[in-house]
Each structure stands twice: as structure tokens, then as C-alpha cells.
Amino acid sequence: MLLRLPRSLSEAQECLNQGAVPIGGATLVWAHWQRDGFPEQAMSLRELPEANVIGRGALGAAVVLHRIDDRVPEALRRAAAAVGTGAVRRTATVGGNLVGSTLRCLLPAALVLDARATVLESDGVRETDLAEVLAKRPLLLSLHWSEPVASRYRKQPGEAGGPVPLAVAAALHDEGGGRTRLRVAVRDGHDVLSESALCPAPAAAPADGAEDTLRALRRTALRDLPAPAWEELAHLVTGLLRTG
Ligand SMILES: Cc1cc2nc3c(=O)[nH]c(=O)nc-3n(C[C@H](O)[C@H](O)[C@H](O)COP(=O)(O)OP(=O)(O)OC[C@H]3O[C@@H](n4cnc5c(N)ncnc54)[C@H](O)[C@@H]3O)c2cc1C
């Protein structure tokens, strides 16, 4: 297998057009390739600047999970810290987690940030939404979002090989004109649902502000979530609205 390390978008595009398979930290693909055979060419984005950004409103697909720190919103940081073991986090990448894994612990956090994806295709770079990234699995270069007012993430403890642990995320977004929107996402089993509702700004929130917001969320597709998921979500949302 030839491992290619493009340093520019045009080199990456050339690799893509020549059939190179994207690879992150190989924490998932290595075992598959050992069993089923290696591709002729693979391409790592670790030398590509556009895939290594980490900072206000941006996270590159080649960034290794353990490098995700307080330059990104809390929800994303906590989601990355909750993935697997330290050894996995030191090797696995954002792209491998979002596009390649089935658990996708980063997904609820990316959804509540309302993140957009920058992808590279044979005819160039374009922006798309996360739904398309999951459905079509293009070459992910980076995620971008508008900074939230505040965000939270919680994943229930789980055992390796056991049921997929519940994960919930929430973020507050200032929409201007005094409007604040709460976005929430819940991973229940392998399904990830996300919804949003207008809510009071944290500083102005009356004591029952969280109740009203949760009632609004109960009128969305989240209404069918099982009770434990609701409890976890209500706890997260109440804390977020109280403290911002
Ligand atoms: C012990 C263990 C525990 C784990 N626990 C968790 C957990 O708790 N939560 C969780 O979410 N995940 C968990 N995982 C999965 C882990 O997140 C993935 O192994 C990891 O994210 C894959 O990242 P990688 O960079 O190694 O991807 P790779 O193995 O290199 O690639 C995986 C797939 O993603 C594709 N890919 C990689 N980068 C890109 C890109 N930029 N664009 C498009 N496609 C790309 C590859 O082509 C391949 O199909 C665990 C894994 C292990 C081994």
C-alpha cells in the first residue's frame, strides 16, 4: 500500500482522483485491511494545513482527538475526551470518528454547534451539512460553526462491547434581536436525534425558563425518547440555562 501525504488541496484532489482511500489514525481500518486486504493507495491528511485547523469556529478532520482542547466549545471538547481509551484518542482523528466510526461520539456535539462541513470532491472543495457527510461519506476536510454562547455534553459510562452509552449535547446560540436558540442532540442507541427551541437568554432566564424550554422540546421529534434519555437531557438543559 502506498501512503500518500498531500500538502496542498490540489495534491489531495489528485490523490482522490487516483483512488487513494482516506485514512485517519487507522484505529478502525487497520484490522479490516489486515483481514480483507490493503488498498493500493491510502491518503492521510496529516500534512494538509486545511485539515489541521483547530481554533475559533473550526476543527480539521486530521486533528487527533487528544489535541482537542479549550480552543473549541466545551461540548466538542468533552465529546472528544469521552471517546474510547487514551490510546485511541492519541491516534484517532475527527474525520475517522465522524465519517468512519459507528459510535460517532463527536456527532451530537457537532450537531448542537450547527456545524457545517468542508469536503473535497473530485471537482473541488465545497461546503455541506452533516447529514450529507454521514450519508455520502465524502473526504472531510474540516468542520466550521458559529461560536455558541455556551455548550455542554455528557456521555453515560459504558463498557467496551456493551450497549452504546447514551450521549446528550446542548448549546445556546445568540440569534440576534434578543433571541437565543437552544440546540440539543441525543444519541440513543445508534440513533442520533437533534432539535432546537427558542429559549430565554441565561442571564434573563426566569426560574421556570428551563421548564418552558423543555416543554417546547417535548413537542418535537424528541417526544418519543425513553425516560432515562429525557432525564439526562433535562438535567443538561437545566444546568446550561441556569449557568450559561
Ligand atoms: C478500543 C476502541 C474504543 C472506541 N471507543 C469509541 C467511543 O467511545 N466513541 C466513539 O465515537 N468511537 C470509539 N471508537 C471508534 C473511534 O472513534 C474510531 O476508531 C476512530 O474515530 C476512527 O478514527 P481513525 O482516525 O483511526 O479512522 P481510520 O481507522 O483511519 O478510518 C476509519 C474510516 O474513516 C474514514 N476516514 C478517515 N478520515 C476521513 C476523512 N477525513 N474523510 C472521510 N473519511 C475518512 C476511513 O476511510 C475509514 O473508512 C473506539 C475505537 C476503539 C478501537
- Distance between CA 7 and CA 21 in Å, rounded? 16
Q: Of the residues 27, 33, 59, 190, which should be mutated to test ligand 1's pocket, given the most ligand atoms within 8 Å of the CB?
A: 27
**Helix axes of 209-218 and 227-243: crossing angle, nearest 10 degrees:** 140
Listed by start position, the domains of the chain span 2-33+48-144, 150-243
> Which atom of ligand 1 is found nearest the CA of 65?
21
Nearest CA to ligand 1 atom 21: 97
Q: Is 190 exposed, middle or buried (0-12, 13-18, 19+ CB in 10 A)?
A: exposed
Q: Which three cell numbers stand for residue 77?
A: 471538547
pLDDT given for residue 161 in this prediction? 82
- Please tell me the distance from the alpha carbon of residue 121 to that of residue 127, in angstroms, as a whole number: 11
What gap in Å lies between CA 169 and CA 240, rounded to an integer?
A: 10
Fold that domain 2-33+48-144 belongs to in CATH: 3.30.465
Q: Can you read off the three cell numbers belonging to residue 128?
A: 455541506
CA-CA distance, 30 to 138, in Å (whole number)? Answer: 20
Q: How buried is 66 (Cβ within 10 angstroms: 0-12 exposed, 13-18 middle, 19+ buried)?
A: middle
Instruction: Centre a 10 Å sphere on the Cβ of residue 80 and count the other Cβ atoms it contains.
Output: 25
The predicted model scores a pTM of 0.96
Residue type, 71: R
For residue 216, report the phi and psi dihedrals to the nearest 5 degrees.
Answer: -65, -40
Helix, strand, coil % in the chain, rounded to nearest 5: 35, 30, 35
Q: State which ligand 1 atom lies nearest to the alpha carbon of 82.
A: 8
- For residue 15, what pLDDT is reported? 98
Distance 92 CA to ligand 1 centre (A): 6
**Dihedral in degrees, nearest 10, Cα atoms 58, 176, 213, 149:** 40
Residue by residue, pLDDT tens for the chain (244 residues) are 999 999 999 999 999 999 999 999 999 999 999 999 999 999 999 999 999 999 989 999 999 999 999 999 999 999 999 999 999 999 999 999 999 999 999 999 999 999 999 999 999 999 999 999 999 999 999 999 999 999 999 999 988 888 999 999 999 999 988 889 999 999 999 999 999 999 877 766 566 678 899 999 999 999 999 999 999 999 999 999 887 7
DSSP string, 101-114: -SS-THHHHHHHTT
pLDDT at 113: 98
Edge-first strand listing for the sheet containing 124-129: 54-55, 58-60, 139-144, 116-121, 124-129
Q: How many helices (H) and strands (E) does the chain have?
A: 9, 12
Judge whether 81 and 89 are in contact, CB under 8 Å. yes
Q: How far is the CA of 30 from the centre of ligand 1 (A)?
A: 10
Q: What are phi and psi of 156, to 5 degrees?
A: -70, 150
Q: Which residues line ligand 1 (CB under 6 A)?
A: 21-29, 45, 61, 83-85, 88, 91-93, 95-97, 99-101, 103-105, 137, 139-140
Grid coordinates representing 202?
441565561
pLDDT score for 207? 60
